[in-house]
Amino acid sequence: MRQQQKLTAAEQKIISLGRVLQSLREEDHVDALIATTISYLQEQFEYSLIWIALYDRLNHILFGQGGVIPSGNTSYLQQRVVLNPGDLLEQVVIEQRPLGVADLRAEIRIEAWQQLAQQFNIQGTIVVPICYKNRCLGLVLLGSERWGYLLGGEARARLMMVVGELGAALYEREMDLQHKQTKRLDEPLLRLLNNLQTLNHLEQRLEAVLETTQEFILPTRTNIYWFDREGYYFWRRLSNKKNHQETTAKITVHELSDFYIALSVNEIVWIGEGRSSLKSNFTVKLLQRFGVRSLLAAPIIWQKDLLGFLTVESTEARIWTEAEKNFTKTAASLISLVAPLEDTESTIKEIQNDAYLTSQIARGIYSDYDIQQILDLYATKVLQRLLATRFLLLHYDPEQNNYQIFYQNQLHHLRPLMYSLEALKDVDWQLLLRSTEAVAIENLEIDLRFFNWHPHLLENGVRSLIVCNCAFGQEPKVLLALATETHRSWTSVEKELVQVVAQQIGITIRQWQLHRQTQQQQKILQSFQQCLRILEQSQDSPKQPIQHLERTALEQIAAILNCSLTILLSWQPGENVAKIIPGIIANSEFEIVTDTLIPLQSEALIQWALLTDELLPITANDLPPATKKWLTGAGVGQILVMALRTTADYQPTGVVVIADHWQRRWSEDSLLTTETLVCQLAWSRRWLQITQMLESRTEELRQLNWYKHRRLEDIQRTVTQLLVQMDDLGIPTNELTHMRYQQLLRQLDNTTASMTALLKLELWQLQMSWETVPIASLLKRSLERVDNLLKQQRLWVGVHGLGQQEGEESSKNYSLLPHSSLAIAGDIVKIELILHELLVCACQRSTTGGRIDIWCRRLDEQFLEVSITDNGDIESQLLTELHQDTPKDILAPSRLEQLPGLHLFICQKLMLQLGGELHFYQLPDGRIVSRLLLPLARSRA
């Protein structure tokens, strides 16, 4: 047999570790566990000081359990150490992680061991917590005579394994001990249940619960308190001490506050030695009120309603065990089961009354009564049933952003509420939206729900409130609220009743809303009719001032939106500033500086409105300082702006500004209606502007025509008188004089005849005649009429295309022109005037010494093209407007309203009436072309 090899040091350490871990798992007694651990630490580690202590978490104290000390005085290792804030040992216990000290002699945070360390030269020290499941059970202190002595990785691992196993073993023994010490609940509770079954009256059952609780827990006294909802206080219904002080016979909810809140949510309240389930400041007050040092209270709840509470009171400071807490809570639950049996008959009667009440309300919905009578029926019955003092029906107004009191009813000694309530905060809005039952507030002074309503309600004596959404699962736009003048609690049955009533009222309100929408539509229709009547009046009386139209339209907009301010920022095309036209200004909070001239380019409201085709919402915070100089009203909060637009080709000439207070919200229907009214105003206003402008121009033309007509009459009269005088002279005797005399007579007679025809035939309308003339003759006469102008500016004229050979040009010798046989047909007098006008314009825009070319060519069998080119300058805007059939915007400034554009435009239109065309354009080399298309004589056949 082979000889067994000798174990290495590392293997021996592992074997020793395994043995001690096995011992710790199998050992049952705490002392043996401590001794085993100390023995292992002394054997495996070079520490001269070893101390193991267990931690009392309730009293925050370490109890020494033994160890190793250089002096051999083991009594020092059994000491009790009270942990104080800042102590090193407390730090280890709280943080639950090891902590090392380089020199224990100099560590002032561990006074309990500092003197010993100085005596025995203990320096490097490590403190290891004994933990299990995040719970500190004690600690191990190891001290060495070497400075800074700390464990290496392998030794540290073995130490932590042993300490961890010790912690698990200690935790298991502690749980076993607690289980053995715990009182058994089953036996007394079973006896109590059997006893309750044999008793017939509630008071007897309460006494049985009271006695059993007293026997099990053995406190100083045990009491049962009952809750009065209307009075909002607790009264002592039963006590095992018949003669103790009467100070706690009646306790109001105000005195209990946090205690009452905890009971309402079915939480047990316990106050023991240095420990409490409530806040420390309220704990002292509560103990003083009950006159005890320890207290255990469990709520008595039935169907989520607090009926009262069971108290276990002790005049000594004691720590309540889990068994005592569970027994008290179970006893209170038994009371909640037997308590409702006392009021069974009254509960059944109450349910029947509630069913009758809701059925009456349901019948009222489908009756022929008006809404006021139906709500009166609701309010009277609900106030009587719930013992409330106020019945409020609130309706959310989106335009005012608040809750209007749609209906209210109250007891005779109370005054109605004369104001609206603010819009709900988002948290309250969400609460009513998601709540499955009515929201009850027992004490309005301390409850934070509906906080922004508190000042108004408290001012009118409201102390308790219950609110319900009339449309379950939908936005809380209609609310039912019941109020009382005293603090009170609301039962779950009462909350359910309020919810049922609210849902039925919601149906009624829905009918009312449909009626209101119908009225709103009628109001909108009336506004449209009014606007149409205004337009009809404008058509019947074209001299109707635009200001009246603007004022009336702004009033209609204000009536639709029910707003406080409507104005118009107005300007004319081509202007740089706008003036303010006031419409409706409700009060001094919406005042404006009406005489302000507002620059179009820098005014934010105007520029914002021009960027959109719809109503644009703005707030007062968005306004720049320049706007606030004229929009000065302190009440201005919400603003709407919209430009006066007609079509995309026409520039806006105004912006409507609408304003109201900060809380104002507008409905979608009113906004759409307003947009339509603004568009209607834009078109009506434009129509009036065009009408007034055309009237003005017509008046000018009439005056001009009257003036020309009278001048022609005077000329005719003068010429007639001359002819009469010449005729009275008789026939001259000289033949040459006679011939000359006759020639003048014929000329005067022709002139008179032409003027007579002009006066008779063209008094208000042009008449077209038809004759033919060679183009050469027409050009010759036209050039002769501008000859003086050509000479003044030293202009050279070239005529091309009238029969010359290729490469030849005509000169200023106009006698060459008649060789052309081309003839045109039409009203030659008017064509000649048009040609003369084109030559005059060409001469006027040409520079001195320049050149004018006249090009003639036959296009086809119908037209002859005559193009006049020159090197002059012409505005590009004028060329653009001459290319348009009609001006895009008759109200906008135009080059066709000024000379020479006006004359060219007249010639262009007249040429169309004569059967030809006239166009203007610019060649790439900069020359300007006036292109005439004249009808040829042969085309008439």
Q: Which domains does the chain have, with CATH numbers?
A: 9-181 (3.30.450.40), 196-343 (3.30.450.40), 367-518 (3.30.450.40), 541-697 (3.30.450.40), 730-761 (no CATH), 771-940 (3.30.565.10)
The whole-angstrom separation of Cα 376 and Cα 387 is: 16
- Quick one: pLDDT at residue 813? 39
**Per-residue pLDDT averaged across 784-802, rounded?**
86
User: 């968005």: which residue's tokens?
Assistant: 622
Residue 15 has pLDDT above 70, yes or no: yes
pLDDT per position as a tens digit, 634-644: 889 899 999 99
Banded model confidence at residue 428, pLDDT cuts 50, 70, 90: very high
pLDDT digits (tens, 9 = 90+) for 315-359: 888 888 888 888 899 998 888 888 776 555 455 556 655 565 665
Mean pLDDT, residues 826-845 taken together: 86
> Picking from 226-240, 243-257, 719-733, 877-891, which range would have the lowest pLDDT averaged per residue?
719-733
Q: How far is CA 912 from the centre of its chain?
A: 60
Place of tokens 């040091």: 9
Query: Counting beta carbons within 10 angstroms of the beta carbon of residue 330, is it exposed (0 to 12), middle (13 to 18) or buried (19 or more)?
Result: middle
pLDDT the model gives residue 578: 92
The SS3 assignment for 879 reads helix
Mean pLDDT of 852-859: 90
- Of the pLDDT bands very low, low, confident and very high (cuts 50, 70, 90), residue 605 is very high
Contacts for 857-860: CB closer than 8 Å, 24+ residues apart: 857/801, 858/822, 858/936, 859/933
Tens-digit pLDDT profile for residues 186-197: 778 888 888 887
Q: Does pLDDT of 394 surpass 60?
A: yes
* Spatial distance between the Cα atoms of 200 and 260, rounded to a whole number of angstroms: 30
Provide the percentage of residues in the chain whose pLDDT is more than 70: 83
Which residues are 49's β-sheet partners? 143
- CA-based nearest residue to 127, from 148, 107, 141: 141
> In this model, does residue 483 exceed pLDDT 90?
yes
CA pair distance 628, 92, nearest whole angstrom: 66
Q: By the 8 A CB rule, do 617 and 640 touch?
A: yes
Tokens of 649: 């080709």
Contact indicator for 77, 51 with CB cutoff of 8 Å: yes
Q: Which three-class secondary structure state does DSSP give residue 642?
A: strand
Q: Note the pLDDT of residue 866.
A: 92
Number of H helices, E strands in the chain: 26, 32
Q: Residue 817: which pLDDT band, with cuts at 50, 70 and 90? A: very low
Degrees (nearest 5) of the Cα angle 578, 584, 585? Answer: 95
Q: What is d(CA 862, CA 370) in angstroms, rounded to the nearest whole number?
A: 84
Size of the chain in residues:
941
Give the pLDDT of residue 752: 73
**Per-residue model confidence (pLDDT) at position 278:** 80
Token output for 481? 């609220």
Mean pLDDT of the chain: 81
pLDDT at 191: 83
Q: Which residues pair with 141 in a beta bridge?
A: 51, 127
Q: Which long-range contacts (CB under 8 A, 24 or more apart) does 361-369 make?
A: 361/501, 361/504, 361/505, 362/504, 364/508, 365/504, 365/507, 365/508
**pTM for the whole structure:** 0.47
Helices (H), 410-491: 426-434, 454-459
Q: Residue 325 has which token pair?
A: 């807490």
342 against 891, higher pLDDT: 891
Maximum mean pLDDT: which of 237-246, 754-763, 829-838: 829-838
CA separation, residue 629 to residues 2, 324, 441, 564, 596 (Å): 112, 75, 47, 19, 9
**What per-residue confidence (pLDDT) applies to 810?**
40
CB 401 within 8 A of CB 423: yes
Residue 245 sits at φ, ψ, to 5 deg, of -55, 150
Tokens 């001490």 -> residue: 241
* pLDDT tens readout for residues 209-251: 888 888 888 888 999 998 888 888 888 888 887 655 555 678 8
Band of pLDDT at residue 150, cut at 50, 70 and 90? confident
Mean pLDDT for 746-750 is: 75
For residue range 644-700, what is the model confidence (pLDDT) as tens digits?
Answer: 998 888 889 899 999 998 878 887 878 888 888 888 888 888 888 888 788 777 656
Question: Is the Cβ–Cβ distance between 388 and 382 less than 8 Å?
Answer: yes
Biggest CA pair distance of the chain = 189
Between strands 233-239 and 421-422, the pairing is unpaired
Q: What is the side-by-side strand order in the sheet with 49-56?
A: 80-82, 61-68, 49-56, 136-143, 125-131, 99-101
Q: Give yes or no for residue 845 having a pLDDT over 60.
A: yes
796, pLDDT greater than 70: yes
Give the per-residue SS3 of 29-91: CHHHHHHHHHHHHHHHCCCCEEEEEEEECCCCEEEEEEEECCCCCHHHHHCEEECCCCCHHHH
pLDDT of residue 350: 61
pLDDT given at position 1: 40
Residue 609 has what pLDDT?
92
**pLDDT tens digits, residue range 117-141?**
888 888 888 999 999 988 899 999 9
- For residue 733, is pLDDT > 70? no
Q: Which two three-digit tokens encode residue 438?
A: 């009515």
CA angle, residues 663, 665, 666, in degrees to nearest 5: 155
Q: Give me the DSSP letters along 773-813.
A: EEHHHHHHHHHHHTHHHHHHHT-EEEEESSSPPTT----S-
pLDDT digits 0-9 by tens, 860-874:
888 899 999 998 888
Classify each residue of 172-188 as buried b or exposed e, where b means 16 or more C-beta atoms within 10 Å of its C-beta: ebeeeeeeeeeeeeeeb
d(CA 240, CA 199): 18
Report in angstroms the alpha-carbon separations of 51 from 66, 71, 87, 314: 6, 13, 17, 39
Res 131: pLDDT = 92
Question: Do residues 389 and 399 make contact, with C-beta atoms less than 8 angstroms apart?
Answer: no
User: Can you tell me the distance from the alpha carbon of 297 to that of 289, in angstroms, rounded to the nearest whole number?
Assistant: 14
d(CA 630, CA 602): 14
Beta bridge partners of 306: 301
**Contact in structure between 437 and 495 (CB atoms under 8 Å):** yes
pLDDT of 115 higher than 50: yes
- 818 pLDDT band, cuts 50/70/90, is very low
Backbone angles phi, psi at 374, to 5 degrees: -65, -45
